[in-house]
């Protein structure tokens, strides 16, 4: 029996975060389909293309966020 995961996905706006070349990028209000049980996010091909354009364009961000960074010690 094959489960249809698409039935369990919910349309939401999410914050997409990417670390690239030592920089952290956050893009807010991105349309995604989210699995409410796992939190896994799925993006349409057009959304992915637009995310890439935003990050690679070098345009000025809307605002900046200060983020604390910790090192994991085992």
- Give residue-wise pLDDT tens across range 11-42: 999 999 999 998 899 999 999 999 999 999 99
**Which residues is 33 bridged to in the sheet?**
11, 42
So what's the pLDDT on residue 4?
57
- Annotated domain spans of the chain: 1-34
8 pLDDT band, cuts 50/70/90, is confident
What pTM, to 2 d.p., does this model score? 0.79
* pLDDT for res 1: 45
If one counts every other C-beta atom within 10 angstroms of the C-beta of residue 41, the result is 15
Count of Cβ atoms closer than 10 Å to residue 74 Cβ: 2
The string of pLDDT tens digits covering residues 35-65 is 999 999 999 999 999 999 999 998 999 999 9
């Amino acid at each position: 029996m094959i489960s249809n995961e698409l039935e369990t996905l919910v349309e939401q706006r999410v914050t997409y975060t990417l670390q690239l070349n030592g920089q952290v990028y956050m893009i807010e209000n991105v349309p995604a389909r989210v699995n409410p049980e796992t939190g896994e996010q799925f993006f349409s091909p057009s959304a992915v293309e637009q995310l890439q354009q935003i990050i690679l364009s070098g345009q000025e961000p809307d605002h900046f966020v200060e983020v604390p960074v910790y090192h994991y010690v085992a």
